[in-house]
Structure 1
Amino acid sequence: MSRQTIRMVSIYLGLAALVLVVFFQTAHFNFVNYDDPSYVFENPNIRSGLSLRGIVWAFTHIHSQNWHPLTSISHMIDCRVFGMESGRHHLVNVGWHAAAALLLFTFLWQSTGAIWASVLTAAIFAIHPLRVESVAWISERKDVLSGAFFMVTLLAYASYVRRGSWRRMAIVAATLSLGLISKPMLVTTPVILLLLDYWPFNRFDKKGIWKLLLEKIPLFLLSLGSIVATLAAQRLAIGTAENLPLAWRFNNALVSYVNYLRQMFWPVDLVPFYIHAEGRLAIWQVVGAIALLIVITTFAVVLRRKLPFLVVGWLWYLIMLLPVIGIIQVGLQGRADRYTYLPQIGIIAAVVWMVRGLSSSWHRRTLIVATVSIVVTGILTLLSYRETTHWRDTESLWTYTLSRSPENDVALAGLAGIELVRGQTDDAIAHYRHALALRDGNAAAHYGLALALARQRKTDEAIEHWERSLEIQPDNTEARNYLGAALAGVGRTREAIEQWQQTLTFDPDNGNAASNLAWVLATSADPNLRDGAKALAYAKRATSVPGGDNPVVYRTLAAAYAENGQFADAVSAAEHAKQLAQLAGNLAMEDDLDRSLELFRQQRTLRER
């Protein structure tokens, strides 16, 4: 084995080891109640694992207000292979992130020939504390997955630059497509490739700007398609102009650019949710942000010929952040660490290459730069390791967040959620009310408070909060299902039916809504509401979706068969429901099904008991 080969193997192993030192601890971490339920462990389409039906669902449905089918499929594969072992899901994130870091090094090294600058850039990217959210949070699989495909796209483009052909550009388009269906943030990739044409590929003088743009038209079209799909998927999560005026959004975007820079060089007090400043930013903050951005941009442009990496790195940062900088507001956050996953590479590369250039004439340059690099990498590793520990479980995450941001409504609601699971209902209600006092527009807090109030049999107030939650987030199908059940429980059955029908409008495969509708239509004492044919259709729909093979759904199917006079089928469905109840150890359900079977054998319906 040659010395060069040994060196390269050592670099790859070293980068992988850095990632593992920081993030292997997540193998012992749990899921958290921040998006993980809807992304993975409470989503029947994901939990059921990879299947042809699941793949079709991933490409034809919106998943947690996003359309990212490859990410959905990735979670399905995890569930098929690992079940609900959260540590294994975490390690898949770590693996994708390690792959992204190694591929970034490979691209930089092959494109610039500067091996140690490439190593340092990849190392800082790999273990910077701003990476923690993307790697340690299972729901952010989309970051690390799209990041890996972004790096493959860069390598494919480098191959195209070396030996241009339509086949090589087709590979670039294919890898970009995989990245876009992992996370649409890669829509700016064609512009990033254009920047790379300036440096390090130096193609502007050889080809000219128009030829470079022309060759990327297929890539721009892919990005345009992704933008359209994303806006359609996120239409219910996008803040309205009334809630967040355009001036607020622009001001927050400008200040966020500066805050992300500050966090790169001083990565402390990082939290999973940053409260949006809304109209509270001082004029000096906005003016100062504008001034700093103008100064850096001017500096980079003026020195573009002498320091081309500076203007490329800076524009990389500005442009890649554009889709998530908040001008089009999605969600409640002011900014998020995960949004820096790929944009920060531009700043890291610019700084590393600038140091490389400035230090070229230093005496003992190698010793000084190596020492500084080791110290910086060591400090970042320690900070990231500590930051990662906060993600070990829900309580740890939100307790830490509240220690840094005491008036954080999302953290309060998150902590209330784990208290509700533990049966600490009074504590949960107190935290939910505190969260809503801070921000009445927090849909999750209204939803959680409604659950807690329903548990205390305060049904009328629970209904009010579910309705308020749905005003803010109309596509929350779980809230609609609970609201429908609560309405049915207080005799407002027609309104309940409307809620469940609305759920099926948003999610045609929602088994809970279909089962609830079938039950009411089959068993209602009101003949004006009963409809046996529709009840049977809804019940069959409920059994056909992921999660439908459970005793409640099959009891409903039995009731629907009986309402239609198909008593033999009703007995068969009820017996299957009883078997499922026995497997689940649900004695109360077994007893209920025994009584139902007796009625069906007497050719009587459930409403006759």
Structure 2
Amino acid sequence: MQEFNLSRKGILLLFLLLVSFTVFGNTFFNQWTYDDLPVVLQNPDAHSLAGFLENTRHGRPMRELTYIPEHILFGDNPAGYRIQQLAWHGVNGFLLVLVFNALGVELPFALIGALFFMVHPLQSESLANISHRKELLALFFSLAAILCYLRSFSAQGMRRLLLWGSSVAAYGGALLSNETAVTLPLVALLYEWLMVERGRRVLWRKPLLTSAVCLLVGAFLLYRFRWIFAAEQLLTVYSKNSFEASQSYIPLFMGAMKAFGFYLYKIVLPVGLAPEYHFNLSESFWQPWALLSLSLLGGAVALAVSIRKKLPLVSLGIGWFLTLWLPISNLLPVAYLAADRYMYLCLPGIALVLAVLLQRWPKRVVMAGTGLVLVVFAGLTVVQNGYWRDEHTLWRHAAKVNPDSSWVMESAAYSYYLKGDYETARTYVREALRLNRFNTKAYLVLARIEEARGDLAEALHNYEFFTEVGAVEYPDLVLEARGKIPFLRERLRLVEIYRKRMGSSGEGGGR
């Protein structure tokens, strides 16, 4: 296997940084979007070390730490934040090459796999939206943990202990960046089972002890995140998909299967991407797309097991993808059924499969076809970055590709409201409420739109309704709305007085 020297590593790192800045360079023209305002601009923990230590908002500590120097240097200018954003992505591509090479993939093919990961359009959300830096950081620490772990097998004595310690510390960094990295140790367990002789294994040296530790950790995690078993959490996921018919688990499971198939489809054909997606949920077991996805999932597991001896690295790549998919699968109700950013930790598994298959069958036509796909993907990514230019371009595009989502239509309505197009905004928000009458925030958006249109009575009605039903989900916004209500009532009272006087004046003039 071809080895790196320091000079080659430097050239490779510079090249992958150049790729990152070239493909995602147009994001420097983008404004704050999506979750950027609450996570970055309005988060005191991300503005100074003192604020971070005060910890007024519980979030991802590693992400907040990286925002502090940017806030000091660039303030509210999003362009300055993107330097670090794109740099992390380039470094992740570099680490991915090192990990693939350590696994036995030759450098050219390891590089192709890393490029597939880097330029894929699904990465646009993680790069274009600054608040999603948690994905970049989680992968950085995950890859660092894996690399240290792999290198420990060829080390001895104190160096080996240092590599083990570094791997554990890096894993801790991944968890502090994003909790979805929790299943990363399963990748190491899978690697030892597939690739390491029994006498050299570390984690599987004492299977009973390892199993006991896994059970204890699993029990702790179930206790730590016990809120996901609450009925309210299940209903939250259902509400995001405009489903109100049941509290059964069946719709969630079938929805998770649909999302799995959706991911596979978008990996192959990454068009029509949006920040939020909608899935039609049902209690019925007869859902062809869900059943097809379930078959694909079972087929992927069966394939990984059947080829584990002939193509162990392909099995490892499939296992990597599935292992990192588990925390975001929503087999336990967590959040959105699907999101582009969720694939950031999973895609390296697919990239490994690609790299291994290309190394095994390096036909010219296959290599040329792969190169063409990479170029097309890079072009699609540049286009996708443009949709993240500002809130209006983002949600206007999302409403076109995902018109069945109440949350997308509500966000599109608000973007039109900010543009001053109140009639179009009103159309979108009414569609959002038609799709899901339990979309609480849509009532607030409608209230703001009606206030801007001058329909104070309708605005007051929706503000009052929002304050009654939105306190749990949006306490800060409810507080703001409650502050508006007395002024609106007073304005409405004065308007009524004015109308009565004008009516009386009109009658007198007629006589």
TM-score, normalising length from structure 2? 0.83
- Return the alpha-carbon distance in structure 1 between the equivalents of residues 271 and 199 of structure 2: 43
Instruction: Give, as a single letter, the amino acid of the residue that structure 2 aligns with 1:25.
Output: N
Structure 2 counterparts to residues 387-402 of structure 1, below 5 A? 387-402=384-399
Match of 1:185 in 2: 180
Structure 2 residue 480 is the aligned partner of structure 1 residue 482: yes
Deviation at 1:408, TM superposition (A): 3.0
Structure 2 counterparts to residues 381-460 of structure 1, below 5 A? 381-453=378-450, 456=454, 457=456, 458-460=459-461
Structure 2 counterparts to residues 301-320 of structure 1, below 5 A? 301-320=305-324
Match of 2:114 in 1: 122
- Return the alpha-carbon distance in structure 1 between the equivalents of residues 449 and 231 of structure 2: 25
Structure 2 counterparts to residues 102-121 of structure 1, below 5 A? 102-112=94-104, 114-121=106-113
Unmatched runs of 5 consecutive residues or more in structure 1: 360-364, 492-609
Instruction: Give, as a single letter, the amino acid of the residue that structure 2 aligns with 1:116.
Output: P
CA contact (8 A) 1:395 1:418 kept: yes
The range that moved more, 276-285 or 459-468, is 276-285
Structure 2 residue 337 is the aligned partner of structure 1 residue 339: no
Match of 1:604 in 2: none
- Return the alpha-carbon distance in structure 2 between the equivalents of residues 217 and 372 of structure 1: 47
Deviation at 1:223, TM superposition (A): 7.8
Match of 1:530 in 2: none
Match of 1:38 in 2: 38
Structure 2 residue 167 is the aligned partner of structure 1 residue 172: yes
In structure 1, which of residues 269, 278, 283 is the aligned counterpart of residue 281 of structure 2? Answer: 278
The range that moved more, 477-486 or 449-458, is 449-458
- Return the alpha-carbon distance in structure 2 between the equivalents of residues 44 and 430 of structure 1: 36
Count of residue pairs brought into register by the alignment: 471
Match of 1:587 in 2: none
Pair member with larger Rg: 1
- Return the alpha-carbon distance in structure 2 between the equivalents of residues 284 and 475 of structure 1: 34
**How has the CA–CA distance of structure 1 residues 223 and 464 changed in structure 2, closer, same or farther, with 3 Å as cutoff?**
same
Structure 2 residue 48 is the aligned partner of structure 1 residue 50: yes
**How has the CA–CA distance of structure 1 residues 6 and 72 changed in structure 2, closer, same or farther, with 3 Å as cutoff?**
closer
Unmatched runs of 5 consecutive residues or more in structure 2: 239-243, 490-511
Instruction: Give, as a single letter, the amino acid of the residue that structure 2 aligns with 1:485.
Output: G
**How has the CA–CA distance of structure 1 residues 203 and 136 changed in structure 2, closer, same or farther, with 3 Å as cutoff?**
farther
Deviation at 1:211, TM superposition (A): 2.6
CA contact (8 A) 2:250 2:283 kept: no
Match of 1:84 in 2: 76
Structure 2 counterparts to residues 587-606 of structure 1, below 5 A? none
- Return the alpha-carbon distance in structure 2 between the equivalents of residues 372 and 252 of structure 1: 34
- Return the alpha-carbon distance in structure 1 between the equivalents of residues 147 and 327 of structure 2: 23
Instruction: Give, as a single letter, the amino acid of the residue that structure 2 aligns with 1:328.
Output: L
CA contact (8 A) 2:44 2:51 kept: no
TM-superposition CA deviations, 1:164-185 (whole Å, max 9, x none): 6444322222111111111100
- Return the alpha-carbon distance in structure 1 between the equivalents of residues 263 and 163 of structure 2: 35
Deviation at 1:375, TM superposition (A): 1.9
- Return the alpha-carbon distance in structure 2 between the equivalents of residues 56 and 213 of structure 1: 42
**How has the CA–CA distance of structure 1 residues 490 and 234 changed in structure 2, closer, same or farther, with 3 Å as cutoff?**
farther
Instruction: Give, as a single letter, the amino acid of the residue that structure 1 aligns with 2:104.
Output: T
- Return the alpha-carbon distance in structure 2 between the equivalents of residues 355 and 228 of structure 1: 43
Deviation at 1:481, TM superposition (A): 1.1
CA RMSD of aligned residues (A): 3.2
What SS does structure 2 have at the residue aligned with 1:274?
A: coil
Deviation at 1:462, TM superposition (A): 1.2
Deviation at 1:467, TM superposition (A): 2.4
- Return the alpha-carbon distance in structure 1 between the equivalents of residues 417 and 293 of structure 2: 42
Match of 1:374 in 2: 371
Match of 1:466 in 2: 467
CA contact (8 A) 1:97 1:126 kept: yes
Instruction: Give, as a single letter, the amino acid of the residue that structure 2 aligns with 1:40.
Output: V
TM-superposition CA deviations, 1:410-431 (whole Å, max 9, x none): 2222222223334444443332
- Return the alpha-carbon distance in structure 1 between the equivalents of residues 298 and 348 of structure 2: 20
Structure 2 counterparts to residues 80-229 of structure 1, below 5 A? 80-112=72-104, 114-163=106-155, 165-200=160-195, 202-204=196-198, 206-207=200-201, 209-211=204-206, 214=209
Instruction: Give, as a single letter, the amino acid of the residue that structure 1 aligns with 2:408.
Output: A
In structure 1, which of residues 293, 297, 303 is the aligned counterpart of residue 297 of structure 2? Answer: 293
- Return the alpha-carbon distance in structure 2 between the equivalents of residues 175 and 435 of structure 1: 43
Instruction: Give, as a single letter, the amino acid of the residue that structure 2 aligns with 1:134.
Output: S
What SS does structure 1 have at the residue aligned with 2:404?
A: coil
**How has the CA–CA distance of structure 1 residues 217 and 94 changed in structure 2, closer, same or farther, with 3 Å as cutoff?**
farther
Instruction: Give, as a single letter, the amino acid of the residue that structure 2 aligns with 1:476.
Output: Y
TM-superposition CA deviations, 1:286-312 (whole Å, max 9, x none): 222222222332222112111112222
Match of 1:350 in 2: 353
- Return the alpha-carbon distance in structure 2 between the equivalents of residues 296 and 191 of structure 1: 17
Deviation at 1:386, TM superposition (A): 1.4
TM-superposition CA deviations, 1:306-361 (whole Å, max 9, x none): 11122221122112111111222234x431111111112112212321232244xx
Structure 2 counterparts to residues 232-243 of structure 1, below 5 A? 238-240=233-235
**How has the CA–CA distance of structure 1 residues 408 and 30 changed in structure 2, closer, same or farther, with 3 Å as cutoff?**
same
